[in-house]
Structure 1
Amino acid sequence: MTMLEATGLSMQVGDGRWLFRDVDIYLSKGDVLVLRGPSGAGKTTLLKCLAELVPYDEGNIKLHGKEASDYGVPLWRSRVMYVPQRPAIHTGTPMDLFNMAKNFASQKEKKNLDDPTQIGMQWNLSESHFTESWSNLSGGEMQRCALAVALALNPEVLLLDGKW
């Protein structure tokens, strides 16, 4: 059974050329899809479109047969979560980000949130990494903390951008 379905997804850039055109993606629970291509080919933009973070010109995206407008965009983004290659430097700590995100209305219906610290410890992070200011973490530590936070929020679809 298809969980995430994108059909005819297309985006045109300012000069009139298509960044991508007529992309179809069908994913079932447990599927892994890897997008590969040269820098500037549109991989990041396509992932952001799937997460409803940037608008696309044509096509539609459905999760369990429903569009983002059926869920509401905040709820969609809690179910289809995008993790950037280089996490933006947030104020506070990774645990501050997790605690803020878990209190969003879109997260309220989730019963079983995980502990990002426990997830991160599997990737050579310590508890102190999650209470350290983002600005004091290395790029790799930031990326692993951001991924641990995203995983702890239990999205249905996780869109990872970068070299994982």
Structure 2
Amino acid sequence: MSEPVLRCDHLSHTLPDGRSLFRDVCLEIHRGAWIQIAGPSGCGKTTLLRMLVALQRPQSGAIFWNGTPLDQVPGPLLRSRVVYVAQSPSPVSESVERHLTRPFHFRLHRHRRPPTREQMRLMLDKLGLEDVPWDRGVDDLSAGQRHRLALLRALLLTPQVLLLDEPMAPLDRGSQAKVEDLLEEVRWENGTSMVLVSHQEPVRKAPDTVFHLEAGRLEPRQRK
């Protein structure tokens, strides 16, 4: 099997109150994988996602991106290839079009051609956002619309790995199905690995692997 895109080796992390958040956690994320991480509130699911993109550091153990220790990878490069979408994207005072194209004005992406309106509209339609006009302010959208817009913004960067924190939480089942369909399409077309923290069961296709995180342990959940 090829080298995983991301690999966690024996991560351990203790909170200031003495509670062990992780104990010897190991995880491999291969190209095109679809992984869901479940577990009770406060068990460390979001912290694990943030560690995978170097927004937080484990107290012990190591994380590797394409075989290179994460602490040796420049932050902007890592976060252009491993993209994290938070559970509650912050509303911003700019238009939908400006928000989607803004990353392509950053130095790291200036060599890349921004997506066309046609490309963006096609993906907006697939996410059920066909009625959202280009000049609508992002801060005028509903929570579910903002969440899907944040997902689309991440997908436009064609990341190697997409880290999604409760991506289905503000969505009804119809919108959830649209999101799952687009994620499935992107992972097969681009080989993007998907790692989702979610309490919700999928509407369309089950993940390749579901892990359960609790009491510091990350274990694969047995299929029924």
Residue in structure 2 matched with residue 29 of structure 1 by the alignment: 31
- Find out whether 1:138 has 2:146 as its counterpart: no
Q: For residues 41 and 3 of structure 1, do their structure 2 counterparts lie closer, same or farther at Cα, with a shift above 3 Å needed? A: same
Shift of 1:83: 0.5
- Check if 1:151 corresponds to 2:159: no
Q: Summarize the Cα distance change of 1:45–1:130 in structure 2 as closer, same or farther, 3 Å threshold.
A: farther
The answer (yes or no) to whether the contact 1:119–1:152 under 8 Å persists in 2 is: no
Assess if the C-alpha contact under 8 Å between 2:88 and 2:147 holds in 1.
Answer: yes
Instruction: Specify which of 109, 126, 150 is matched with residue 122 of structure 1.
Output: 126
- Kindly provide the amino acid, as one letter, of the partner of residue 61 in structure 1: I
- Aligned partner of 1:93 in structure 2 is 95
| Residue pair 1:119, 1:148 contacting (<8 A) in 2 also | yes
In structure 1, the residue matched to 2:55 is 53
State which structure, 1 or 2, has the greater radius of gyration over its C-alpha atoms.
2
- With 87-96 and 44-53 compared, the bigger mean Cα shift is at 87-96
Contact (CA 8 Å) 1:117, 1:148: kept in 2 or not?
no
Cα distance per residue 1:43-94 (max 9 Å; x no partner): 0111011111122212221121113343301110111111111111123134
1:141 alignment partner AA: Q
With normalisation by structure 1, the TM-score equals 0.88
Distance 1:38 1:72, change over 3 A: same
- Residue 133 (structure 1) shift: 1.1
Distance 1:111 1:68, change over 3 A: farther
The equivalent residue for 1:38 is 40
Q: Structure with the greater relative contact order (CA < 8 A, sep ≥ 6): 1 or 2? A: 2
1:9 and 2:22 correspond:
no
2:64 to 57, 62, 71: 62
Query: SS of the counterpart of 2:34?
Result: coil
How far did residue 27 of structure 1 move?
A: 1.4
- Per the TM alignment, residue 108 of structure 1 is displaced from its structure 2 partner at its CA by 4.1
How far apart are the structure 2 equivalents of 1:75 and 1:8?
24
Output the CA distance in 1 between the equivalents of 2:124 and 2:101: 16
> Taking every aligned residue pair, what percent have the same amino acid on both sides?
33
Count of aligned pairs between the two proteins: 164
SS in 2 for 1:35: strand
